Amino acid sequence: MATPLELKTEHNPSWCLGCGNYGILSGLKAAISQAGLEPHLTVLVSGIGCSGKDPHFFKTYGFEGIHGRVLPVATAIRLANHRLKVIGCAGDGDAYGIGGNHFLHTMRRNVEITYLVHDNQIYGLTTGQTSPTSIKGFATKSTPFGVIEEPVNPVSLAIAAGATFAARAFVGEFNHFKQVLVQALQHKGFALVDILQPCVTFNYLNTYQWFSQRVYKLEDESGYKPPDRMQAFSRAQEWGERIPIGVFFQETKPTYEDQLPQIKERPLAEQNISSVDIKKSLAEFI
């Protein structure tokens, strides 16, 4: 394991001052440290967007792929070597827009990936177009007359699609956010954390202040129990004057990897391939 300081690399982000990503950076370092992860056994996988830069700021293995494809790469890394902890970093466009298909299918597979979606409801890197989570009516460069469609509801989607851990956090509530991250990292299965992370440059609507006035913690609500799917689903519908944060849903189920006898003894990456004997299979063609 490593301390947050030991996880730091020589590089510094070039995000805008005040960007929610800074909070994610320090929160994730603290959470990785607190969860006791070994740097050489941890892989951060990212796509393209402001969040895509994340792996460069962690002294762990990293794969910075292409837009929308975090989950297939992350899945394959887990299938290749399930001794590795795999953390996916994506933005709302990457995860819920272009990568929507992978999002849906990776959740129903329950591959053990901690999926951290940096959700600022706008495309920041490409300078301010609408995103799948932009609120209806929101005017952006690509929707100057306001967004016509309804936003995606990531937590509801996750619960419906079979995610075994579905949470929402707000970087402005730093300690709570960090705690949710640790829980997500410790979850044995697919864990979505939809992270509300204001874009200070292009999202004039969903600001720190906007969120601070609205968010409340699920665990402060008496009687809220994460394993109740129906309760979680109805709570996930709430978005407006009050926005719930915390772990909406969590259940224990075998992961995809758990169900592969091929890797029971050892990960694929540790299997000897120097001289695979195919005589038996060849004989089947005689």
In this chain, which of 33, 75, 131, 206 binds other proteins, going by CB under 8 A? 75
Q: Find where tokens 């001052």 sit.
A: 17
Pick between residue 42 and residue 183 the one whose CB is nearest to other proteins. Answer: 42
CA distance 29 to 37: 10
Which residues make Cβ contacts (< 8 Å) with residue 52, sequence separation at least 6? 46, 64, 89, 90, 91, 94, 125
Residue whose CB is less far from other proteins, 99 or 244: 99
261 binds other proteins (CB under 8 A): yes
Provide the token pair at 281. 């299979």
Residue 72 or 128 with smaller CB distance to other proteins: 72
Q: Does 5 bind other proteins (CB under 8 A)?
A: no
Tell which one of 212, 213, 234, 271 touches other proteins (CB under 8 A): 271
Q: Which stretch binds other proteins (CB under 8 A): 26-34, 152-160, 231-239, 260-268?
A: 260-268
Helix ranges (H only) for the chain are 20-34, 70-80, 92, 100-109, 154-161, 174-186, 208-212, 229-236, 279-283
Tell me: does residue 210 bind other proteins (CB under 8 A). Answer: no
For residues 151 and 131, what is the distance between their CA atoms, to the nearest angstrom? 8
Please, what is the Cα angle at 209 between 204 and 215, to 5 degrees?
Answer: 115
Structure tokens at 6: 């030991």
Q: With binding defined as CB under 8 A, does residue 175 bind other proteins?
A: no
182 forms part of the interface with other proteins (CB under 8 A): no
Binding site for other proteins (CB under 8 A): 11, 39-41, 43, 45, 48, 55-56, 59-66, 68-69, 71-77, 79-81, 83-84, 101-102, 104-105, 260-263, 268-269, 271, 273-276, 278, 280-282, 285-286
